[in-house]
C-alpha cells in the first residue's frame, strides 16, 4: 500500500530527454514539455482534420524516438516498482514479454515521453477512442501506424513517429504509392527511410485492426493490473480488519 501511495509522487519522465535530440525524421527535434502535449491531446478541435494534424504533430514532437536496452531503467522502459509492482515484477521475471512495456494509458505513455512507432500510434489511437473517433492500428511489415476517419466514409493514414499525414485511405495508397512518397518527403530527410516506407505500402502483408484486437492480451492486462495492485494490499489487510479482537483475561 505504501509503495502504491509513494508512486503517486513519482514521475515516469526523465528530464534528460529535453536536452537530447531524439527525433525520427533526420532533423534535430527536441522533445516538447509534457504540459504542452497534454494540452493539445485533451482539447479537441471542432475541425477534425485540423485536430488530426495537431495530434499527429504533437505526439511526434512530444515522444522521443528511443527504445534502447541501455535506457531500460533510466527512461522507465521497464515499469518501475512504484508505478505498478505487478508489471514491474513481470518485467523482471519474464523480460522477453514484459521487460519493455508500451503503455495503453496514453497519459502514462506521454508522461514517460519515449517510445517507437507502436507506442506513438497507441497514444494517438487511445486519444481518438476517448473522443469517439473511429480509428484502427495499421501494421506494416516492420512499422506501426494508424488510419482514422476524418469525415464519414473518409479515412486518412497517420504516422506520428515520422510526423506524417497521408490524406488518403489505405486502398488509395496501395493503388498509388506515390501518395505516400509525397507525404513522407515533406517531413523526412532520409531518402532511405522514404523509400522504405513506400516499399512497405506496396507490400501485401498489412494488418488493419482495432487496438483492442491488435494487442488483445496486453490491452486488457494493463488496466487489470492497475486495479489488482490495490486489491492485493486491501485483501491482505481485510482479515485483520474483520477479525475478532483478542479477548481480555478476567481475574
Contact 126, 211 (CB under 8 A): yes
Q: What is the pLDDT of residue 20?
A: 78
Q: What is the pLDDT of residue 190?
A: 92
Q: What is the pLDDT of residue 64?
A: 94
- In the numeric block, which cell numbers belong to residue 223? 488496466
Contact 101, 78 (CB under 8 A): yes
Q: What is the pLDDT of residue 249?
A: 57
pTM of the predicted model as reported, rounded to 2 decimal places: 0.93
Which residues 6+ apart lie within 8 Å of 123 measured at CB?
41, 59, 63, 106, 109, 110, 115, 160
Instruction: Divide the 251 residues of the chain into consecutive groups of 10 and give the mean pLDDT of each group.
Output: 94 91 76 95 95 97 94 96 98 95 98 97 98 97 96 97 97 96 95 96 94 94 97 90 64 49
Partners of 159 in the β-ladder: 164
Q: What is the pLDDT of residue 242?
A: 84
Distance CA 243, CA 241 (A): 6
Partners of 157 in the β-ladder: 147, 166
Q: What is the pLDDT of residue 241?
A: 82
Amino acid at each position: 500500500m505504501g509503495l502504491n501511495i509513494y508512486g503517486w509522487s513519482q514521475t515516469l519522465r526523465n528530464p534528460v530527454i529535453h536536452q537530447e535530440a531524439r527525433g525520427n525524421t533526420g532533423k534535430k527535434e527536441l522533445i516538447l514539455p509534457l504540459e504542452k502535449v497534454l494540452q493539445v491531446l485533451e482539447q479537441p478541435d471542432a475541425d477534425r482534420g485540423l485536430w488530426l494534424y495537431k495530434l499527429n504533430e504533437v505526439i511526434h514532437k512530444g515522444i522521443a524516438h528511443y527504445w534502447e536496452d541501455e535506457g531500460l531503467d533510466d527512461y522507465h522502459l521497464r515499469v518501475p516498482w512504484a508505478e505498478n509492482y505487478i508489471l514491474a515484477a513481470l518485467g523482471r521475471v519474464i523480460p522477453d514479454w514484459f521487460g519493455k512495456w508500451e503503455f495503453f494509458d496514453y497519459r502514462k505513455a506521454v508522461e514517460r515521453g519515449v517510445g517507437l512507432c507502436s507506442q506513438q500510434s497507441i497514444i494517438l489511437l487511445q486519444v481518438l477512442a476517448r473522443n469517439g473517433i473511429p480509428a484502427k492500428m495499421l501494421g506494416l511489415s516492420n512499422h506501426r501506424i494508424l488510419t482514422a476517419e476524418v469525415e464519414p466514409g473518409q479515412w486518412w493514414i497517420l504516422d506520428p513517429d515520422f510526423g506524417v499525414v497521408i490524406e488518403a485511405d489505405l486502398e488509395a495508397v496501395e493503388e498509388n504509392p506515390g501518395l505516400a512518397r509525397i507525404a513522407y518527403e515533406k517531413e523526412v530527410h532520409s531518402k532511405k527511410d522514404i523509400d522504405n516506407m513506400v516499399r512497405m505500402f506496396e507490400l501485401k502483408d498489412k494488418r488493419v485492426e482495432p487496438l483492442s484486437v491488435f494487442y488483445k492480451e496486453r490491452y486488457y492486462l494493463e488496466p487489470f493490473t492497475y486495479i489488482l495492485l490495490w486489491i492485493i494490499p486491501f485483501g491482505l489487510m481485510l482479515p485483520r480488519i474483520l477479525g475478532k479482537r483478542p479477548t481480555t483475561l478476567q481475574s
